[in-house]
Chain A
Amino acid sequence: MAAGWRPRRSTSFRVCRSELVLLDALLLQLGYNATLVSIGAALLGGAAGISGTFLFLRKRALVSDAVSHATLPGVGIAFLVMVFLGGDGRNLAGLLIGSALSAGVGLLCMNWLTRNTRLAEDAAIGAVLSVFFGFGIVLLTVIQTLGVGRQAGLEGFLLGSTAGMLLSDALIIAGGSAMALLVILLMRRPMMLVAFDPEYAAARGLPVHRIDMLMMGLVMAVTVVGLKIVGLILIVALLIIPAVTARFWTERSDRVVVIAGVSGAASAYVGAAISASAPNLPTGPIIVLVSFVLFVLSLLFAPNRGVLAAVLRHQRFQRRVHLRQGLLALAQRQPIYEPLTLRLLRRAGLVRADGVATEKGRARAAKALRDEKRWELVRSDLAHEAAAALYDGLREIETVLTPDQISEIDRCIGGPQEVSA
């Protein structure tokens, strides 16, 4: 039996306390180390969300996966070099420089494979990812055999660990994130142009390839900076999820960037706070799960692209179709059996409970039938070709044609005629 399923001895008092601790953590009251981690994480999350957006809009989201896995050999090599030079192998700046170099090499390999061979980009991503990661693991085992104790902490780069973070580490993370944000601010317009329409950007004379490399370089910088907090396997999530989340809320690129930055920063900040409030809550996974919660909320409830909005839109459309068909049926005195149609007509006060049309219902039905006839003429007349293209069986004819045009059409139809009984 796994120990984890034993009922916990948690009392309401303890729940209360842990909530207080979380509040303290959110308000940066939990001591020096936790505060450092929270602020560093928020900056990192913002930078990751923003640079990930360009990658996502360029439809190359998974490139970040290759970049992040390619950092591992660099970490190992940097550690070995620093140890052989007689220094402390765990110096964060040295490890980050090493990881940036090997991520850069991985990026160049990937680019070379896609440009000079027949491999598609996804295959190049997978090849770089697996080979670099495998080589990194070889180096990690080499380091393990060098001597016990000295390698402690390198495994932390796989999944991130914030325990024992120093002020210098936090400063490196904050500074790196701030620099990435600055570069993005300066280069946002050309990067956005390339992300949206590389052919157009090339036609405008922009160096598309170099801007692509800049984008990748930013992703690389964010990855390297984030190694310490979230680890190389999960940093991908920080680059992809906020961008996807932001895309639900707006159709404007500048707002997508801002929303992605804010949601990335918020999830990193809240995640770091939650992780500081209780033991056994690793920072990286918590941050990823918080940003996933934001993603799911957006997927469901975003105003235009969300699932709920789509369901409501569909229902509205369904109701309009049923009402329209019901009115046409009333006008042609056909019996209506469809329960939804009957219910909608009754609720609108167009038919009585026994299914007979009311005064208002007859008027609306006659108008619907007349509109249908008007549309028929419009669609058969080439002069109205542009208007006829808008016909979908639901559109009110008044929204397409002017009153003059409608009365012109009505003249062709002719007035109402007496029906012989």
Chain B
Amino acid sequence: MSGAEFVPLSLTPLLIGIFAAVACALPGNFLLLRRQALIGDAISHVVLPGIVVAFLLTGAIAAGPMLLGAAGAAVTAVILIEAVRRLGRIEPGAAMGVIFTTMFAGCVLLLEQTDTSTVHLDVEHALYGNLESLIWLDATGWSSLWDLEALRYLPPELPRMALTLLGVAAFIALFWRALKISTFDEGFARTLGIRTDLLGLALVIMAAIAAVAAFDAVGSIIVIAMFICPPAAARMMTDRLETQIGWSVVFATLSAVLGYVLAGYGPLWLGAADAVSAAGMIATVSGVILAMAARFGPCRRRAGAPAGV
């Protein structure tokens, strides 16, 4: 494949996919170990209502208000879940189920009631994303990477996603020791003077930021898959947190690249004419990786558990 074809059509979606996958997989490692894996699921269900409300208030598809709306919805959902859990003394899973389905239902109703057909804002788009359409038409080949004029017309999702990834990575690097201690032994972390409640909240907020940014570019299904599958697969490979994070980055990147290539070129190899959903394919590949790790990973069993239980 020549650079003239690859750079404008595939390079940017590929990079955005990789950045989104890694940005979600990094906090996913900690969420998985803290048994909060489904937070990604809840966030991605409530992000759409936030975006819809932001759109109805401002009347325009603009990145700023939409990200604010999505973040606002995520925070609202966290507060509501906590309120239902405490006021009603309901277990967290059920409280989560009550809130995110209701917010999602309200959003679907809003979408049906208002005329949003003129803009590209619908449930399907929110689920699948539009990774394939994030192309860089001004590029002519590899040399465009040094061409300032062409670089100005990069899809804005690419720098945004790269920034998000940097932010998430910086957060984890900065709070590495505190995060690690409080994830494995919260009581011990508290005796060391670490504010575990604030740290837990910060982690959820970082996850929400990653989810919102990725959601804008690649749709919610990748977000949920990347929060859980690469970290879960990495968990089967090692007992060390550092190594686990390394593996999860490798798996996330692999899913993004393989998924994108399979979605774009797989049908052509099979003789079909059109590509299939890249977002769905990335999630599928991450599932295949998880299945392989769960079957053959060296550390797949619970420590101390007898075989077959």
Contact = CB atoms under 8 A, between A and B. Distances in A.
Contacts of A65: 38, 41, 97
Interface residues of B, number: 76
B280 A240 contact: no
Interface size classification for chain A: 35 or more
A1 B91 contact: no
Given A2-B115, A62-B38, A288-B102, A130 B97 contact: no
Contacts of A113: 294
B123 A158 contact: yes
Nearest to B263: A138
Interface in A33-88: 56, 59-62, 64-65
Interface in A109-139: 112-113, 115-120, 122-123, 125-127, 129-138
A274 B49 CA distance: 22
B37 interface: yes
B84 interface: yes
A123 B232 contact: yes
A131 B259 CA distance: 12
B151 interface: no
B123 A159 contact: yes
A131 B287 contact: yes
Nearest to B283: A134
A5 interface: yes
Nearest to B110: A4
Nearest to A245: B98
A233 B220 CA distance: 13
| Residue from A1, A3, A119, A127 having most chain B Cβ neighbours under 10 A | A127
A1 B119 CA distance: 12
B102 A289 contact: yes
A129 B105 contact: no
A145 interface: yes
A133 B36 CA distance: 20
Main SS at interface, chain B? helix
B189 interface: no
A3 B114 contact: yes
Contacts of B235: 118-119
Contact of A292 (B102, B275, B305): B102
B91 to A, nearest CB: 5
Interface string B159-185: 000000000000000000000000000
A184 B274 CA distance: 46
A59 B91 CA distance: 7
A226 interface: no
B94 A4 contact: no
20 contacts: A2-B114, A5-B56, A61-B93, A61-B94, A61-B97, A64-B97, A116-B294, A118-B300, A123-B228, A137-B283, A142-B276, A233-B45, A234-B105, A237-B97, A244-B88, A247-B90, A288-B101, A289-B106, A292-B105, A307-B87
Given A4-B115, A137-B221, 13 more contacts: A1-B59, A120-B35, A122-B37, A127-B228, A127-B287, A131-B290, A134-B283, A135-B283, A141-B128, A159-B108, A240-B97, A241-B97, A281-B109
Interface of A: 1-5, 56, 59-62, 64-65, 112-113, 115-120, 122-123, 125-127, 129-138, 140-142, 145, 155, 158-159, 233-234, 236-237, 240-241, 243-244, 247-248, 280-282, 284-286, 288-289, 292, 295, 299, 305, 307
